[in-house]
Amino acid sequence: MSCLDQVYGNASSIHHFGQIAKQRLEMARRQVAGLIHCRPQEVVFTSGGTESDNLAILGTVRHASRATRHVITSAIEHPAVLNTCAQLEREGVAVTYLPVGSDGVVDPDAVRRALRPETVLVSVMHANNELGTAQPIADISAITREAGVYLHADGVQSAGKLPLDVEALGVDLYSLSGHKIYAPKGIGALYVRKGTRLSPVLFGGHHERDRRPGTENVPAAVALGRAAELAGRDLVSEAERLAVLRDRLEAAILDRVPGAGVNAGRAPRTPNTTNLYFDGLEGEALVIALDLRGFAVSSGSACSSGAVEPSHVLLAIGLSPEQARASIRFSLGRSNTEEQVDALAEAVAASVLHLRRLSPVSKVYV
């Protein structure tokens, strides 16, 4: 708020007001770098996770000078990655989409087998947005380093929730989104390891060391920096608290609701996310029922709201279209309490019972 009210200079200007803005911007850059353990000059501010993914993928692949180019990604990526890869395919780039097991985890050996001499990039998300499953990024990076191939990880769901050190992970590019760690919507960042070659996808001035042109959104960047600082400070304690709440929610629902289960529940996961199926129900109906009771949940990715197709993530782990449509994602955060979790479990049980009574297909569970 102080930036919006007082720091109105252009961070690229050399006058007094511009330099004040520049100081605040660079402080934010250091704070983001502190969360992910990198050099501040390796942080590029963007408009969010989608732009960060686009810059990482399009930027590295388009910069590659070889005649034939190949990209490896997974079948459970966010649309910001999948649709960017689809665009590369339209440009003549070959893309391999790796399958995952029922645990929602990519096998590093599958990455090794998919590598080709013309492979220029591997992009595998750090944690999945629907399941919360964490991917073995460090194991994958050992393979890509040996092959001399860039590795990008979409870290939108993991930053601030899992211990994060981009040096230890071995990634070359890592995407962040501000609103996932309580910064405003419309701000994000991309970690670009020193020496990583990528072309800009936007064209204009020389901002962000020629990697992302456009006057920087200083107030939003400052908010992201502060959010990153707070997320890093409380990461361990908050992750432990959220994991306890998540497990409490799962146990309460499974105890009260027959024909329910956790999707990919045995895999390593972020502490705040769980995805449950409710046999014989339409997930959208349960979302509406819980909304009427004051609870906001999702039947898939928020970026796919309104889509009639079942989740590509849930289909990829082996669920049928009917099971995928009967699944709900629950995400917990800083403001949630044990009392809220208990109330949610009761609301889920009551809503499921009501909906199954209305459905002839589901009467077996009533």
- Dump pLDDT digits (tens) for 226-237: 999 999 999 999
- The predicted pLDDT at position 308 comes to 63
Instruction: Classify residue 211 by burial, with Cβ atoms within 10 Å: 0-12, 13-18, 19+.
Output: buried
β-pair partners for 94: 70
Rounded CA separation 142/111 (Å): 11
> What pLDDT digit, counting tens, does each position of 29-50 carry?
999 999 999 999 999 999 999 9
CA end-to-end span of the chain: 52
> Is residue 162 a contact partner of residue 20, using CB atoms and an 8 Å limit?
no
Rounded CA separation 85/71 (Å): 8
Which residue numbers are catalytic? Answer: 303
Kindly state the percentage of the chain with pLDDT values over 90: 90
> What pLDDT digit, counting tens, does each position of 118-177 carry?
999 999 999 999 999 999 999 999 999 999 999 999 999 999 999 999 999 999 999 999
Rounded CA separation 46/189 (Å): 5
Rounded to 5 degrees, what angle do the CA atoms 175, 177, 178 make? 145
State how far the alpha carbon of 252 is from the alpha carbons of 203, 220, 248, 333, in Å. Answer: 52, 39, 6, 18
The pTM of this model reads 0.94
Element (H, E) at 170: none
Could you tell me the domains of the chain? 2-231 (3.40.640.10), 235-365 (3.90.1150.10)
Per-residue pLDDT of the chain (366 residues; tens, 9 = 90+): 889 899 989 898 999 999 999 999 999 999 999 999 999 999 999 999 999 999 999 999 999 988 899 999 999 999 999 999 999 999 999 999 999 999 999 999 999 999 999 999 999 999 999 999 999 999 999 999 999 999 999 999 999 999 999 999 999 999 999 999 999 999 999 999 999 999 999 999 999 999 999 999 999 999 999 999 999 999 999 999 999 999 999 999 999 999 999 999 999 999 999 999 999 999 999 999 999 999 999 987 555 555 568 999 999 999 999 999 999 999 999 999 999 999 999 999 999 999 999 876 655 665
Nearest to 322 by CA among 304, 333, 331, 310: 310
Q: Quote the tokens at residue 319.
A: 């669920």
User: Residue 134 — φ and ψ, nearest 5°?
Assistant: -90, 140
Helix 49-63 vs helix 79-90: crossing angle, to nearest 10:
30
Rounded CA separation 2/163 (Å): 30
* Beta strand 119-123 pairing with 327-331: unpaired
Q: Quote the tokens at residue 228.
A: 């990153």
**Got the DSSP string for 100-117?**
--TT----HHHHHHH--T
> Is residue 224 a contact partner of residue 189, using CB atoms and an 8 Å limit?
yes
